[in-house]
Amino acid sequence: MWKKILAGLGVVVLLIAAAAAWLWSLIDTSQAATDVRTSQAGQIAYLQQSLAAQAGTNPRGRVLAVVTSTAFYPPAVVDGKIKKTGYELTELSRFYWVLLANGFAVDIASPQGGDAPRVLDDDDMAEFDYAFLNDATAMQKARNTIKLADVNPEDYQAIYFVGGKGAMYDLPQEPQIARLAQAMVAQQKLVVAVCHGPAALALLTNSDGTPWLTGKKVTGFTNAEELLLMSDAENRFSFLLQSKLEQQGALFAEGPRYLPNLVIDGQLITGQNPWSVWQLAEATVRALGVELLPRLASAEERTMQLLQTHQSQGLAAAQSQIELQLADGPLQRNLVVTMALVGAMAGEWTQSVSLLRLTQQIKNQQQMQQAQQ
């Protein structure tokens, strides 16, 4: 009896070990070895246009990016650990470069002014983001944000509310945001927000006191996205963003979890999550009446396109697009593995296994591509 039990346990252990080895084999270690921390704007073809824009004296217009001043979760210390927050750098940097490359000047403001707290997620940072950190002009603006009370809305064609969990604490109650947003809306200027950025719009009202968002199509960080990675979000925040926007009468468009989603309703442009920033920035440029400067999609964007195909059309359709995507540039198979693990966390095992199979196919195609070079 005991021999059979031990034999059975041995088989289970071997299966788990084999599964772990297979999963580890899917990780792209060459991606981790690529160091983009020294990236400079002048080294990136697309951003060479932005350098010319910085030197120009007559930009096509000005856009105001608004970031949070909240640096810590309340309470700041939990179980002896300091809980930092702020705005997501990637949500500022990518928007900044797209607007600048297309001829617009970008200023940065915050409720308190000065050096606003930045969140740098190493897993998501890429060359554009490090180029921002290494750019003297960009960082001068980031370290010396304009105090919202000192902003004149007449100076700007659009206002952009950057996400990051810190935005949930100070942006909704900030009276200067109401002043600026109302002025922009009155003049038919653009109001743009991404991820947690729409929190800035959550409590805006019309002159009669009714919610400004009523009847407007909008998106933002969804309840599903929030609660999967922060199960106590309802206690950490005064509201869940999606729930609050819906309570205000907004027509909330919830896209698939952690995949890009862009919603445009007249002069209001919103993106669901950090992976929506590229689309959001380019939609802003188009809405400002400018033909976009051509830009090659990043490896992250191409991978997201593959994940969207997988979500909407299934594994076979996604697999059929791998070769075409690789012809345009690299893919981030570690991102696909991450999404598979996220699916497992949500109990979506079939989806998770399907994404791992997609990752295996990406690896196979990458190896074939390398062999042909």
- The DSSP code sequence of 338-364 is HHHHHHHHTT-HHHHHHHHHHHHHHHH
Instruction: Say if pTM beats, i.e. exceeds, 0.85.
Output: yes
21 phi and psi, to 5 degrees?
A: -65, -40
Angle 333-345/349-372 helices, nearest 10 degrees? 170
Instruction: Name the 3-class secondary structure at 172.
Output: coil
Q: What does the pLDDT read at residue 120?
A: 95
Query: For 162-188, how does the pLDDT look when each residue is reduced to its tens digit (9 = 90+)?
Result: 999 999 999 999 999 999 999 999 999
Q: What does the pLDDT read at residue 6?
A: 46
Q: What does the pLDDT read at residue 4?
A: 43
Q: What does the pLDDT read at residue 50?
A: 67
Q: What does the pLDDT read at residue 123?
A: 82
- 287, 315, 285, 281: which is closest to 301 by C-alpha? 281
| Burial of 369 per CB tally in 10 Å (0-12, 13-18, 19+) | middle
**Tens of pLDDT, residue by residue, the chain (373 residues):** 544 444 444 555 555 676 788 888 899 988 765 789 999 999 999 988 666 666 555 689 999 999 999 999 887 555 667 789 999 999 999 999 999 999 999 999 999 999 999 999 888 899 999 999 999 999 999 999 999 999 999 999 999 999 999 999 999 999 999 999 999 999 999 999 999 999 999 999 998 999 999 999 999 999 999 999 999 999 999 999 999 999 999 999 999 999 999 999 999 999 999 999 999 999 999 999 999 999 999 999 999 999 999 999 999 999 999 999 999 999 999 999 999 999 999 999 999 999 999 999 999 999 999 888 7
Angle 315-328/349-372 helices, nearest 10 degrees? 30
- 257, 304, 256: which is closest to 279 by C-alpha? 304
Length of the chain: 373
Q: What does the pLDDT read at residue 200?
A: 98
Angle at alpha carbon of residue 164, lines to 158 and 168, rounded to 5°: 90
Query: For 126-152, how does the pLDDT look when each residue is reduced to its tens digit (9 = 90+)?
Result: 999 999 999 999 999 999 999 999 999
